[in-house]
Amino acid sequence: MNKENKISLLGIYSTEQHLRQPYHYFKGNDFLELELANENEDKTLLGMNWRLLTGVKGFLNTSVFYSRVKQNQTEGQIYIDPIYNRKLFENETSVRYPVYQCGIDETQSGIKTDFTYNFSNMLNFSAGFSFQKMQSNSGINLNGLDTVYVFKSGENIPGQNFLVISPEDLNCKFDNSRNEYSSYIETSFSPKQEININTGLRLNTTILTIIF
């Protein structure tokens, strides 16, 4: 902006998707790859840095940032008759989609400020403050009953050949947040090139909240 003020900006966004639908199974060559999926991930990063010269001997540096990672995942399954040792046609299979869905949404934002003043070549002073907020929301949702294990011969429980899980046993949601505060002051004294004496004080505070 001018000799006393310098501002730097940063912005990044990226997205990824993994998609596997019944179409890919019937067009592919691996007849044992039975999982279906639709997975998405979006990433965002924004930042700004402001450097202000407060005089010949001092400057103030301030950074502000925001980031977000969002993931959504939907999973399904193709069911085949195990007596066939070949890829089946569409009318010979059954498809369950979705079996379950899960997602994670994480955000971080914060600010950091540092002030530095050089009294002389031997004595420096610095102080700063920072605040950072982190929030995470996640959950999983099962769409009906699901078989998580098939007992092999000789290991099954009498009268039970499958281990089945219900939505009531799996479905959940978590909301977590954390606030972090920190501040410091520091002086550095160097009477000779071989000697450097640092004194200072730093305070850190973290507030954590978890909601199930």
Q: What is the per-residue pLDDT across 164-200, written as a single tens digit (0 to 9) for each?
A: 888 888 899 999 999 999 999 999 999 888 888 899 9
Q: How sure is the predictor about 34, in pLDDT bands with cuts at 50, 70 and 90?
A: confident
What is the model's pTM?
A: 0.78
pLDDT tens across 88-124, in order?
Answer: 777 778 888 889 999 999 999 999 999 999 998 889 9
5-211 homologous superfamily: TonB-dependent receptor, beta-barrel domain (2.40.170.20)
Nearest in space to 67 (alpha carbons), one of 7, 138, 136:
136
Closest CA to 22 of 102, 83, 89: 89
Tell me the C-alpha distance between 160 and 148, whole Å: 13
pLDDT at position 9 is: 96
Q: What pLDDT is recorded for position 52?
A: 92
The proportion of the chain whose per-residue pLDDT surpasses 90, expressed as a percent, equals: 55
**Neighbour order of strands in the sheet with 35-53:** 5-20, 35-53, 58-79, 94-118, 123-142, 172-192, 195-211
